[in-house]
Amino acid sequence: MLRFWELSPSPNNTKVRMALRYKKIDFESVPVDPVNRQPVVGVSGQELTPVIEDAGIVLNDSEGILQYLDANYPDTPRLFPGARAGRRECDAWKRRLDETVAAHWSPVFLYGIGRRDSLDVEARAKFQEALAALDEQIGDRESFKDDPEMAICDLRVAEWATYAFPGEGLMKRVRLFSRFREHYGMESGSLPRLERFLVPWNDRLA
């Protein structure tokens, strides 16, 4: 069985967990102690997470892990499109989210984990604006791309938005998400279309 070395609540770990659950791949989760990373160093030769061990292969790059899962579990739902044009579109989507969402997510996250002394309210406001734009974009649709081979685009939205709208199961499993919910300052019901979209992704993180 695939072993998944994870350190919650890192977004790189979050997206790998969502990918594994989306693809319905059985895995064993191995929590990593942020203070003592020697076990993961012993497995992968470095201290960063996520790390997977699968069939004698060890990978420690989150994007590489996602590509590996598609390539080595071909009978499960795809994350990435096979066509080059679709992959370019997914890459452009990632760049857009990195610029408009993740950049403003980061300062609030660092405050939430105690790496900053004060909350960056400007970054929080811009993050909220970015989520509101995604709420408008999704509208009444179930997916941002409406293509079953472009699930990675939806996963990338969920990767960031679940910090503002974590599910109950996720907050129970990773208590820090309750703090993030408060710090990102989004009221339940404020972005109903985005919140509806997030339900299955939150279920995969529970």
Q: Which of 50, 72, 94 is a domain's end point?
A: 72
Residue 31 in domain: yes
| C-alpha atoms less than 13 angstroms from C-alpha of 159 in its C-beta half-sphere | 24
User: Does 109 share its domain with 185?
Assistant: yes
Residue 105 in domain: yes
Q: Where are the alpha helices (DSSP H) in 74-187?
A: 84-97, 103-112, 121-138, 151-161, 168-173, 176-184
CA 16, CA 11: separation in Å to the nearest integer?
9
Phi-psi sector, 139: left (phi>0), alpha (psi -120 to 50), beta? left
Number of domains observed in the structure of the chain: 2
User: Does 61 share its domain with 91?
Assistant: no
Task: Pull the structure tokens for residue 40.
Answer: 């993961």
CATH code, 58? 3.40.30.10
User: Does 95 share its domain with 154?
Assistant: yes
Residue 88 in domain: yes
User: Does 103 share its domain with 179?
Assistant: yes
Helix axes 121-138, 176-184, angle to 10 degrees: 90
Which residue segment(s) compose the domain that 146 sits in? 84-205
User: Does 61 share its domain with 92?
Assistant: no
pTM: 0.96
User: Does 122 share its domain with 174?
Assistant: yes
pLDDT at 143: 97
Residue 12 in domain: yes
User: Does 142 share its domain with 166?
Assistant: yes
Residue 78 in domain: no
pLDDT at 84: 96
Residue 51 in domain: yes
Amino acid at 94: K
Task: Pull the structure tokens for residue 81.
Answer: 């499109």
Q: Are 7 and 46 in contact (CB under 8 A)?
A: no
pLDDT tens digits for 157-194? 999 999 999 999 999 999 999 999 999 999 999 999 99
User: Does 144 share its domain with 171?
Assistant: yes
Predicted confidence pLDDT, tens digits, the chain (206 residues): 999 999 999 999 999 999 999 999 999 999 999 999 999 999 999 999 999 999 999 999 999 999 999 999 999 999 999 999 999 999 999 999 999 999 999 999 999 999 999 999 999 999 999 999 999 999 999 999 989 999 999 999 999 999 999 999 999 999 999 999 999 999 999 999 999 999 999 999 99
pLDDT at 99: 98
pLDDT at 5: 97
pLDDT at 104: 98
User: Does 38 share its domain with 138?
Assistant: no
User: Does 94 share its domain with 180?
Assistant: yes
Residue 79 in domain: no
Task: Pull the structure tokens for residue 174.
Answer: 């990773």
Per DSSP, the three-state class of 94 is helix
User: Does 89 share its domain with 190?
Assistant: yes
| C-alpha atoms less than 13 angstroms from C-alpha of 162 in its C-beta half-sphere | 34
CA-closest candidate to residue 162, choices 151, 146, 176, 143: 176
CATH code, 102? 1.20.1050
User: Does 181 share its domain with 157?
Assistant: yes
